[in-house]
Structures are given as C-alpha cells and as structure tokens.
Amino acid sequence: MVRSGATFAILLLKLLYLCDPGRALPRSGLYPYGERIGDSPVPPGDDASAGVSRLRHHYWLYSHAYRSLHIGTNGVISPSPLPPESHYINDGFPTDFPLVSPFLADLTTEGPPKTRQGRVFFREDLGPGAKELTAAHVASGFPNAAFTPRSVIVVTWEHMRASAPGRHLPTMRGKVNTFQAVLASNGTDSFAIFLYPSTSLQFLGSRSKGRWAAPGLVLPARAGFCSGIHHGNRGLSYALTTSLASVRRLTEWGNAGRTPGIWVFHIGSARRFGNVVPASGRGRGSTPRDGPIEEGIEDKTAKGVLADAPQAVVRQERSHQDRVYREPQSRVPRWHHHGIDPRGSRPVRPQHDHGDGQAVVESGRGDLPEEWLARRCTDTEAHCSPHGVCIDYRTGFCCACQAGYYGNGRECFKEGDPQRISGQVTGRLKLNRPRATLEELSAEIHAYAVAADGRAYAALSPVGPTLGWALQLLPALAAPVGWLFARERHGYDNGFRLAGGQLSHHSDVTFQPGGERLSITQHFTGLDPHGHLAVNVRLDGTLPDVPDQATLMFEPYLETYHYHDHGMMAQATQRLTLTSAEPQRILTVHLQQNVTAAPCKHAGVPPWQRAADKLSVSRLFGLFNPRELVVRYALAARLGTDEMVQRSNPCDDGTHDCGPNSRCQAGPEMEYSCECTPGFMRDGPHCVDVDECAERPCGTNAHCRNLPSSFTCECDSGFQLEPDDRTCSDVDECGLVTCPVGATCINQPGAYTCHCPHGFSIDGQQCQPAPEARTERASTMCQRWMEAVLSSAEGRVVYVPQCDEHGDFRPTQCGPAGECWCVTMEGREIHGTRTKPGVRPACLPITASPIPPQPTQPPESTSGLQGPQILYAQGQRIGHISLDGTRPQNDHSGTILSVHGSVNVGLAYDCVERMVYFTDVVARTINRVSLEGGESQTIISTGLLSPEGLTVDSASRNLFWVDSGLDRLEVARLDGSMRRPLVSTELVNPRAIVADPTRGMLYWTDWNRAAPKIESAYMDGTQRQVLVRDNLGLPNGLTLEPASGLLCWVDAGTKRLECIQTDGQHRRVITSGLHYPFSLSSLHNYFYYTDWRRDSVRSLRSDGADVQEYKPTLRSHPYGITIVPPFCSPGTTACTQQNGGCSHLCLPTPQGRSCRCPEKDVPGCVEAA
C-alpha cells in the first residue's frame, strides 16, 4: 500500500510539472522519499556512507557499467567504496574515483540539540510511477531521445548542515540544504537528474578541515561527474559549478523544460561515449555562467543515445551574416532518434543499409550545419583568461581580453606591466675550432620584457667559459620574447596579442663567412603558478669560435614576417663586429624563423593573415661574465617599422602632451589622441577621478569610499562584506564571543549584548548578585519583557527586546531577520518607522541625549604620525597601521603615499630622519618619502632592473638592496650617492635583505627554485657563506631581532615561519600552515607579515598564537612590510663618528669597518680594511 501511494504521488508530480511549467521547483516537487516508502537510510554522522553491493539492474557512468552503489553524506554517489573525505573534499574535481555529485561539500547530518537532524535516503525504484516521471524529465531536456528506464535510483539529502562551520563562518550556523539526485538506466544508456527545490540551498559550500584553510574561507560546492582513474590514466570530468555564484544559480536556473532547479544529463552509454552531455532545454536561464568545465576530451558533442541516430535533420532558417551567433531554442542538434517519427509520435523502424539497394539514412555528422556542432561560451568559458571575455560566433567561440589588458584572450596581461619569462635551456654545441668536441649545455633562462617600450632582457646561467664567449653571438635567444612583447605602432599587434603564451618558435641560424649552422627550438607553454611565462629551449649545432675577452657590437636589423594559417615565418640578416686581441672580424647572421600557434578562426579571418609585417630590432647586446658564469642579452623591438619611415608617432617616441591619468592613442601618420584611463573622465584638458560613490553602488549597512580610478564598499561595525563586494550582512557575534558565566548572549544587527538574569550583574567573568542598592530597584518593563522571552525561547529565533544599561528600551529595536523600527518609552512601535532588513531607521532618543563625541582626525590623514606603526607596500600605495604596543589598531590606518602606475615592493625605514625608502619595479627606481607625507624623491634611477628588498643602516647612513633582475646586492649612501656592488655571483632570485649594523653583518634570501638558500656576509660583501640551504621552498621574507640574535624568515613553499641563530644553530619552526607569505618584519615578541593568498597584513606572537589580520580596502597583493619602532635607537658602529675616517663609503664589519670606493673611479678615494 505504501508503494502504491508513492506511485500515485509521482504521477501527480508528473501531471503538475507537465501542465504548469515555468514556476520554481517547490519542496513537494522532489520524488517521494523516506523510510515509510521503503528507502534505506545512510547512518548519521559527518563522513558516513552506505551502499548496495548488487542492484537489480546495472547503470552506465561514462563507458563503464556498474551494479554497485555507495552514497555518502557529503553529497556524493559512487560505484566504488568511498575513501575518507580528506582525500577529496579539499581537492574538488576531478576525483580519482568515479563520481556523481549533486552537491559535493563537507556535510553532516548532525545538528545542535533540539533541532531537526539531517538524513540521507536511497532506493532502487522499479515502480511505474518513478519510471514515468523520470522519462518525462528526460524528454523535457532531450525531446528527441527515446528513453524508457528499466530502473530508477533515487537519493535524497534532507536538512544537511555544513560540517563544523566554526566561529569563522557564523553566517552558516543553523542553515540546512535539501536536494536530490536520480539515476536512471534502460540497459544501454543512463541519465542523471539533479533536483534543487526553491530556497533549498541555504548555504553554498563549506570550509576545509585542513590546516591550510583560511578562517572564513568558503569552498564552493561542486556539482558534476567524474569517470575516475582507469588503468593508471586520469579519465574525464564534467563540472557544473566552479564558484559560489554558480552554486547559487542551481536553484534559480535549469536545463530541462522551463522549471528552474531541474538539471538533466546524459551520463553514460554502452556505445562509444565521450563526456557528459547536458540537456538542451532551458529553465529560467542556461548553465551557470562560469561553468560547466569539461576536462580530458576534445570532441564535446553528444554521444550514445544522441550519436547513433539517423540524421534526418530539421533545419532552421537563420542568417549566417551575424557576427555573434544567436543560439536556437535548443542547444544540441535536433536529431530524430530510433523509435521517433519526425512527422509525429508514431514508432518507426530504424533504417539500415543491408546491401539490397534500398535507400538508407546514413549515420554520422556530415549533414549537420556546423553551427549546431560548435562549442559555445556556456560550455567552455573557463578556458578564457580571468581577465578575458568569451564571444560566440557561428562556428564556435573566441576569447578576447578585457579593456586594460592585452593578449589572445586565453592569456591576458595588464597593459604596461612588465613580464617575466623563465625556463630551462639544454643542448649539444660544438665550436668551430681545431679538435673541438661536443659540449653539453644545461642552464636556466630568465627573461624580462617591457611591452610599453619593447625592451627585452634575458640571462642564461650557469654557462662555463668554453661556451660562454661564443654564446654572446645569440641575442636570437631573446628574439621570440622581442616579437611577443614588441612595441606596437598603430594598426599592428605584437605576438602575444596574436598567439598568447602557448606557441612553438624554431630558428635556423647561419653564420658567415664560416658557414656555421645552429637550430634553436623554443616551446612556450603558458603561465606558470607564479604568473611567469614558461619556456623550454633546445640548442643544437655549431657556433663560431669567439676568443676569450672578446666583445661584440651588433647593428640594428629588420625582421620580415609572413603569416599563414597556423603561425608565421620570418627572415632577417644582421651584422656584428667582433673585437678581440686578434684582428677585428665582421660576421653576418642569417635568421630563418617559424612560429607555430593556434589562432582562433571563428571570428573570420585570423588577425595575422595579413600582408607582411616588419619588426625593427635595435639596441642589441650579448655579454658573457666569466665570474658570474652568465650570458646576458638585451634588445629593443618595434613592430610596424619600414625602412623608409624616419618619423615616429608622438605616442611611440614620447613627444605627446597627454597629461596624468591619460594614455596616448596613436592614429594614422602623426595623429594621436589622449584618452582618460579607466576610472577617470575628461574635465577640459585634464582627466579627473570619477567619483563612483556618487552612484551609491554599495548596499545596506555599507558605506562607499572613493579611491583613485575605483571605489570600495566598507561595512559598518558589526557587519561583514558579502561575496558581491557591495552588500554587508550582520555578523552573529554570539558565535564568536563568550559571555560571562551565567549570562545570555543576544545578537543584534551590528552588535550584541551579554545579559544577566534579573538581580544579577556582570562582575568580571561571571554574573554576580547585584549590590544591595541595585537589588532594591524593581526591574523595568523592558527587562521583564526580555527575561520572559529568553526563558520561553528554548533555542527558537525570536524577537528579544533590547534594553540599555539603565533598563530602558533602546530607541531602535531590531528583529531576528534584521528589520528595525523605532519605539516609545513604553516599547510600543512607532508607526511608519519599520525598515527593510539591514537598514536602521533614524530614531530619536527617548531618554537624555548623550554628549556628542568630539571630532577625530580622519583615518586617511598622515600628518604627524606618532607612535609605532606598521608600514606596508601594496602596488602603487604605501599604507600604515598604528600599533597599540604590539597589537595593530585596524581602525587607525591610512595611506602615506600613492603613485599611480607604480609597483612598490621593498620597504625600509630610517628612524633618524623619519624617512621611508622603497623600491619601484615598474619605474626601476629606489625612492624615499618622509613619514610625515609629501612628495617622494627618487634617489637611484639608473642601472636597476628589478629592485626588490632593501634595508637601512641608520647608524652608518648606508642603504643596501638586492636586484633579482641583475642578480646583484649593492650599497649606496642614503642619498643614493657612492653606489657600489657588493655581491654579484651565484645569485638567482634574491628577494629579502636585512642588516645587523652593530655586528657588521648582512643577511639575504635567494628563492632560486633549484637551490633556495639564505646567506650572510660582512657588510662590505666579504666572508660570504650559506647559512640555510636545507628544507627551503620559496624563502620570501626575512627579519632580524638584534637583541636575541634570531634571524627569522617566512617561506611560501613550506608555508612556515622559522628562526635560527645568526651562527646557524638552533633552527626551529615558529608556526606552519601559512597561506602565501611575502614579506616579514618584527617588533619585540611579535611578527608581522604580508600574505598574498589573503591579500592582508597579519601579525602573530613569537609562540605562534594571537593571530590578528588587517585587510586593506584596496584588494591587491601587499608586498614589503617594515616597522616604525616606538623609539629611535640606531645604535653605533665604527662608521658612526666622522664616517669611520673613510674618504667615501664606510661599511661596518665584525672587526671594525672597511673603507670602500664607489663603483665609478673617484679621485682621492682610498680603500682600507
């Protein structure tokens, strides 16, 4: 009788949704479920599972048939036994095991006492009602598929909670999700149906249980399918959701019929099957905007039921002239399947060719309009860059970069930003000399390109002297980088705009008059995790013999490019002069180049199928340094140059008169225009900042703060920013704080109170009987009402009256949903004052008005900063956070300096003159600015490539820095004079540097991936040694505590903060599980560091506890960090008095001091130990 009731209910559901499409799926729209109709339950728990070892009928997942079934509490179904949740919760898709998941997240059936507990049910249903409803769902999504299920598997997750949301995710407390998955099979094909009733998804993901997870970080739930690993090979996967926004749309959108919340998929077949095929019908919208993502397959067209049907095609008339393709009502071809008559619903026999001369309907894809087979943005948008957009065309999709970025759309770089290229170089080379042998080459290449002016630099190391002098002949190694990031004249595109970062470049190089030949093959494989362009280089052939100490002078030359379907060919001839102790030689180098890439053809003629382009290459040099074992190359490339063109457009040569906050746009010939950069608008001849806050873009409980070229929404106290970065929601402080013993926590919008029972008051850490004078006073009406509500609430969410410290009604009362209203002295609501949730009305006081607070100095002001401060660099700005002792005061923060277009990385502070020193890797300068504010001053502007960390010796008045582009450590006076290199060998990626002037020592990090290390040396560069080389990953930040002699660092590879004595002894881990630390500083017993994963400044005590975080309003990576101490104690060195008796540079050492001369010869300079 129970089964017949379930069947009747299913028939009613079918009738309801076939007759009334378009409305949202209600809770009653789920398949019937529960133990009363014979469902089996999954045991309660956090990571529980149950299963069936043998089903009545098998089902297909991809190309494999299964008869077993395992269901887990974490929203997963698998034919295999489920591994522990730690093996797949954090990693998401694709999983190593076969999987069907309507909502993969860390879920539990367990809830607080006196609340409804979660449950998971499953069954194999062979009844006619389930079969008919399933067939109707499949038909609504695949209208031409002849599918009658033999069995239906129904799995239901009811009232599931996020496992251990903890104090970091108070908004998830008390929220539950209900959803359902249905698997159906007819023996040869299987379909899946995901059902999400309206309002059934109250939370969108869960937090990881791993130690690496950031507090408050929500991992979005994953819906989709995986085939698992077969025979050692990772299989296919289909991800329906990839972000919180796409999870939210599961209930709002659908792909079957017109009912949101219903999703149907063809998931497997006994026939040849590719990847999962989504249904073609639409609910309120289409597939979530940032999904699905399909992995592991090239041909994404439908297979199985959809692929073996005869091709009797119904064609639809449409214009083929539209540039952007307009999708038909159905997203897949309207095949007529076996058993379906195209003229009606009468069954027909499939037609086949038996060799008797009768007409046949061929199977295959040859007749179909190509636009029906095309891949769409809705299927593959994740393949475009995060800074790109996807555009549909008739035959497929193409990617394009957003405004302010350039590239091919699949990879986009920000306009004006310099780019790094890194990789390995291998080869077998022979020198054209008597008795020469083949030399093996194994080195690293690090290149640096500035597209704004077409400059490219490359360094090849380590290279021994045998090959080093001859490799000076090969600026051609940097030629592909020059083409990729060439400076463009009007109407021309450099290589990165055409091909992006995935291409192959082959060069055949011939040297005359000797006839030596060399082949260079470079494979660019896209961006690595650090945002660098990755490349692998192979060299094979013969090089001319170049004498030791020889120098080369290269003449400018032209490369002529001819483009074809899959790339381009280029020819060039260059001349160079070789000077050595032998007679001077003139060499001619012939270059034949071939680039292979995959341009997008769907937009019409690819942009590189045009007439020949010319690339002008100038300012070449190749230089071998035998001490450093490095060969350096440089060149400047301009695209669109012709031999007869002598004049340059003002945008190219910098003679334009475009002002600040604008950019020059070249026009024909010598014409140009000045356009305001995004976030600025024209005001007469000037570009002024747009006040985005005038449009009131922020939501309730948020206020807008205008920034140069942008804005940010900041939440009022007690509220937190939502994922849309516009609106703010209430923070449930009662989930974060602990009230005194005996007190009850009452959450209010933007605040909370701890309330003791009547006759008691908070005395320290508990509720104590009130003093006699207070107990004689009768409780007020507000207090009696509040106590009555609290005593009867029993965990229910109800309105609790809010009383002030005197027991009177607060003038503004708020309910549990966030709505607020004004009240009289008796607590009665004043009509017309009730607001929407999140908005507080302007209620007048109902008791004596408090004394208005005195105005305070705006937090952005930097005038007269006093006391200890945290200083941090963040892109174009330097910010500060005041310290109360050692604890950051997040509400006392501001900006010291903001320079548009800069990227400030290193920071150091001189307490004697209260000056902040910083490096700018875009302008390639070292600068300083007063802590009091004002204009910055550039003290070093030449001879820098990528200046990063720097440190100040206030006692000796010297400045030290490292340059990761030139691989050098240098020193100068604090005004930039008397500059001198100290260390210039065996450096690869120096990052941070600190000084210990009183002991005369320097320490720095080198995050060379092959051999990271931390080194030390005397402050004159002598007595260099490796202090730490084991168990390092990416040592980024470095700090020194002079009093204790502890040297500490943060490592973005090992995720640890560690310390060691400066003698290399007693290494210990302070804390682990960091996210992505970049820079480090310290004060007393606290550490302060910047974090790229969190985009924040964080602090912690030296025992790893008391973690605090400050998130700047500007959302971008913070770089360097330093501390302004409460007192200036620069100490003394042998150089403090009268410059240590030195004529020029005085550098402290453990034995005293060294007198050193600047790099350039200075008359009268004397060096002495």
Write the pLDDT tens digit of every residue in 214-248. Answer: 455 677 888 999 988 765 555 788 888 877 888 88
Q: What is the model's pLDDT at position 120?
A: 94
Contacts for 831 with CB less than 8 Å, ≥ 6 apart:
none
**Is the peptide bond between 749 and the residue preceding it cis, with omega within 30 degrees of 0?**
no
410: left (phi over 0), alpha (psi -120 to 50) or beta: alpha
- Which string of b and e fits 320-348 if b means at least 16 CB within 10 Å? eeeeebeeeebbbbbbbbbebeeeeeeee
**Is the peptide bond between 462 and the residue preceding it cis, with omega within 30 degrees of 0?**
yes
- Distance, in Å, from the CA atom of 203 to the CA atom of 161, rounded to the nearest integer, reads 9
- Distance, in Å, from the CA atom of 895 to the CA atom of 862, rounded to the nearest integer, reads 7
pLDDT interval class at 532 (50, 70, 90): confident
pLDDT interval class at 314 (50, 70, 90): very low
- Compare 825 and 1040 and report the one with higher pLDDT: 1040
Are 912 and 954 contacting, i.e. CB atoms less than 8 angstroms apart? yes
The CB-side HSE value for 628 (13 A sphere, CA atoms) comes to 17
Q: Does residue 641 register a pLDDT over 60?
A: no
Map 207-262 to HEC letters: CCCCCCCCCCCCEECEEEEECCEECCEECCEEECCCCHHHHHHHHHCCCCCCCCCE
Expressed in angstroms, the distance from the first to the final Cα of the chain is 102
Partners of 754 in beta bridges: 745
Are 846 and 809 contacting, i.e. CB atoms less than 8 angstroms apart? yes
- Residue 535's SS3 state is strand
Kindly report which listed range (31-35, 578-582, 940-944) carries the lowest average pLDDT score.
578-582
Contacts for 530 with CB less than 8 Å, ≥ 6 apart:
none
**Is the peptide bond between 740 and the residue preceding it cis, with omega within 30 degrees of 0?**
no
Structure-block tokens of residue 447: 């290149």
Q: Does residue 290 register a pLDDT over 60?
A: no
Kindly report which listed range (287-301, 342-356, 643-657, 1061-1075) carries the lowest average pLDDT score.
342-356
The residue with tokens 């071998």 is 624
- Distance, in Å, from the CA atom of 139 to the CA atom of 136, rounded to the nearest integer, reads 5
Closest Cα partner for 711 from 721, 729, 696?
696
Mean pLDDT computed over 336-356: 31
Q: State which H helix or E strand residue 131 sits in.
A: helix 128-141
For 658-690, the DSSP string reads --TTEEEEE-STT-EEEEEPTTEEEETTEEEE-
Q: What is the model's pLDDT at position 302?
A: 31
Distances (CA, A) of 519 to 45, 86, 709: 63, 49, 48
Q: Does residue 547 register a pLDDT over 50?
A: yes
Map 1079-1097 to HEC letters: EEEEECCEEEEEECCCCEE
pTM > 0.75: yes or no:
no
Mean pLDDT computed over 985-1003: 92
pLDDT interval class at 586 (50, 70, 90): confident
Number of H helices, E strands in the chain: 11, 78
Q: What is the model's pLDDT at position 404?
A: 80
Structure-block tokens of residue 292: 């699905």
Q: DSSP letter for 53, please.
A: S
Contacts for 1075 with CB less than 8 Å, ≥ 6 apart:
212, 214, 1055, 1091, 1092, 1093, 1094
- Compare 792 and 1149 and report the one with higher pLDDT: 1149
- Distance, in Å, from the CA atom of 984 to the CA atom of 966, rounded to the nearest integer, reads 8
Side chain identity, residue 755: H
Side chain identity, residue 1053: G
Structure-block tokens of residue 1020: 């004159």
Side chain identity, residue 163: S
Mean pLDDT computed over 527-551: 85
Q: What is the model's pLDDT at position 244?
A: 80
Strand 533-544 and strand 419-432: pairing? parallel
Q: Does residue 354 register a pLDDT over 90?
A: no
477-492, pLDDT tens digit by residue?
A: 888 888 888 887 766 7
- Compare 963 and 862 and report the one with higher pLDDT: 963
For 416-467, the DSSP string reads T--EEEEEEEEEEEEEESTT---EEEEEEEEEEEETTTTEEEEEEES--HHH
Q: What is the model's pLDDT at position 238?
A: 87
Hey, which of 24-33, 303-312, 356-365, 814-823 has the most confident mean pLDDT? 24-33
Extended strands (E) in 815-933? 820-822, 869-874, 877-884, 887-898, 904-910, 915-920, 925-930
Closest Cα partner for 878 from 901, 856, 852, 897?
897
pLDDT interval class at 607 (50, 70, 90): low
